[in-house]
Amino acid sequence: MRPVVADCTTRRLAADSLPQYCSGTEVVSTETTSVLLLLHSLEFPALAKSLPSTEAGTGGCPYSASARTDLSPRVALYTEEYAADPHRVFAQMRRRHETLAPVELAPGIPATLVIGYHTAIRIFNDPEHFPADARSWEKNVPADHPLMPMMAWRPNVMRSTGREHARYRQAITAALDGVDLFSMHQNVEAVATPLINDFCMDGNAELIGQYAFPLTFEVLNAMLGCPPDLGQYIAAGMAAMFEGGAAATEADARINEALLELIALKRAEPGRDVTSRLLAHPAGLQDSEMVHQLAVLYGAGIEPLTNLTVNTLLLMITDPRFAGTSSGVAPTTRDALNELLYTDPPMANYCLSYPRQPTMLDGVWLPADQPVLIGMSACNNDPAIHAGEYTDNNAHLAWGSGPHTCPARSIAYMVAQNAIDQLLDALPEVQLACPVEELHWRPGPFHRALSALPVMFPPSPPLGP
């Protein structure tokens, strides 16, 4: 079913009728219904409540279709309470709403969170009504708002539509297709060994700072041909952007400077890396465009991939199924990755779109130019589709779907799986060093990220070269 979209005539009707309503003049029921729904969707609840009550569906106006105009309080996705137990919050949303829930990404930044799996699939595959271009939205948001680095329009594969999206997508896909997965497997092992050797005799470690983050960082830098010193600036900036705090805007500027330096280096000295292949692609990307394609690759590569590795490790060392039993074989690392991507993906909420016009979907009016984001975690756990089967089940939305599906998922799978296998082969008796309830999840509207993963294990001798 195609969503119902407000046309210009209907939107003009609402604007022209406002003075009449403010002066207490009633109009025919179809017009009243139209303006009432528009006011709700555009978030003027006080004025909307003053309008004459009428039943929807009484006439020929496209807005008189039956629709809900839910004024429930918006759920804040940026709090410590949400970060500590997002699944409890999603369950509460589902009791109050069906597939679309009103949320707040930061104080004063409203959005709609998609919590229904089939609704998410429709949005993913309808870029005409749900474009990724944020320029109309950002006109009403301060340029220095901490969420702008994660949400604002950029000339890149994630934030573009139509021909520009196709152009960027072709270049990114071709550059990633050139990655030799066998060589990358060897690179992951070469990076993992000295990291493990640094703590294997200590009997304890913090696996984010001492293992998962530096491994992901070094492997991604090698893939993109980035020197370590530049990569450090980029990695620190990406972490600040995902937090969405006050440092996000400054971090964005630092990232741009470092990426421009990388681009200049690769124009002068091209190599067998993703950055050089992007520069050589027939799309003819300018430096300004290159900055934004590389920012997407780093943004999708450092934080989400680190969190995928860490969160899967947490699952495997705390769930007895992965230890194996006498009655059966333990699930594999790939099984654990699939289960984690289904039940608790590292990007819990993202894949933003911005409807150009007020649009009715599943009986709810979505305001024009207000963010709609896919709750990948909530949708994956939608009772309508969730059956608890994860082995070889790739129906989850952790990689997105439709035209904006992640083009690097095979690389992400390979890096995370090999990083986990290297650690568990070296330290098979590793276990959590604190009760799982004491782990701290970093607040933020988009990610599912631990602050630290402390573990302990019997001291082991260093791995050989």
- What string of DSSP letters covers 95-140? HH-SSEEEEEEETTEEEEEE--HHHHHHHHT-TTTS-S--HHHHTT
Delimit the domains of the chain by residue range: 4-64, 162-346+391-456
* pLDDT at residue 392 in the model: 73
The alpha helices in 283-383, defined as continuous H runs, are: 287-301, 303-318, 333-343, 376-380
CB 283 within 8 A of CB 423: no
CATH 3.50.50.60 assigned to 162-346+391-456 = no
Looking at residues 313-320, what average pLDDT do you find? 96
CA atoms of 40 and 355, how far apart (whole Å): 16
Which of 4-8, 88-92, 203-207, 375-379 is least confident?
4-8
How far is the C-alpha of 102 from the C-alpha of 114, rounded, in Å?
A: 9
pLDDT at 63 over 70: no
Greater confidence (47 vs 260) lies with: 260
Whether 453 contacts 206, CB under 8 Å: yes
**Binning pLDDT at 50, 70 and 90, where does residue 387 land?**
confident
Residue 331 has pLDDT above 60, yes or no: yes
Structure-block tokens of residue 397 = 């939305």
Dig out the tokens for 146 from the structure.
């901490």
Instruction: Enter the pTM of the model.
Output: 0.83
User: What's the mean pLDDT in 141-166?
Assistant: 92
Q: Which residues 6+ apart lie within 8 Å of 2 measured at CB?
A: 126, 129
Using the predicted structure, report yes or no on whether residue 204 has a pLDDT greater than 60.
yes
Greater confidence (337 vs 3) lies with 337
Do 26 and 33 form a contact (C-beta atoms < 8 A)? no
Query: Which of 306, 83, 318, 312 lies closest to 210, judged by CA?
Result: 306
Contact 168, 156 (CB under 8 A): yes
Phi and psi angles of residue 353, each rounded to the nearest 5 degrees, phi first: -140, 165
Q: Residue 164 above 90 pLDDT?
A: yes
Sole residue written with tokens 């964005």: 252
CB of 184 within 8 A of CB of 219?
yes
DSSP state of 450: B
Please state, in angstroms and rounded to a whole number, the distance separating the CA atoms of residues 242 and 85.
18
What is the pLDDT averaged over residues 206-218? 96
Distance CA 225, CA 238 (A): 18
Burial of 372 by CB count in 10 Å (0-12 exposed, 13-18 middle, 19+ buried)? buried
Under a CB-based contact definition with an 8 Å cutoff, are residues 340 and 390 in contact? no
Q: Which residues pair with 432 in a beta bridge?
A: 455
CB neighbours of 306 closer than 8 A, spacing ≥ 6? Answer: 208, 212, 213, 216
Confidence (pLDDT) at 235: 77
Sheet strands side by side (includes 100-106): 75-76, 100-106, 109-114, 372-375, 349-353
Q: Looking at this protein, which amino acid is placed at residue 126? A: D
Which pLDDT value is given to residue 71? 55
Q: Number of helices and strands (H, E) in the chain? A: 19, 11
Beta strand segments in 2-108, E? 4-5, 75-76, 100-106
Given a cut of 60, whether residue 31 has pLDDT beyond it is no
| Whether the predicted pLDDT of 69 surpasses 70 | no
* Strand 4-5, strand 372-375: pairing: unpaired
Band of the pLDDT at 373, cuts 50, 70, 90? Answer: very high
Burial class, 246, CB count within 10 angstroms (exposed 0-12 / middle 13-18 / buried 19+): exposed
Distance (Å, whole) CA 212 – CA 222: 16
> Poorest-confidence range of 64-78, 196-210, 356-370?
64-78
What is the H or E stretch that residue 375 is in?
A: strand 372-375
Query: How many of the other CB atoms lie within 10 Å of CB of 335?
Result: 17
- CA-CA distance, 9 to 28, in Å (whole number)? 16
Question: CB of 456 within 8 A of CB of 431?
Answer: yes
Q: What is the DSSP string of 236-251?
A: HHHHHHHHTSTTHHHH
- The alpha-carbon radius of gyration of the chain (Å, integer) is 24
Sign of the C-alpha dihedral computed for residues 450, 452, 456 and 462 taken in this order? positive
pLDDT per position as a tens digit, 225-249:
999 888 887 877 777 766 656 666 6
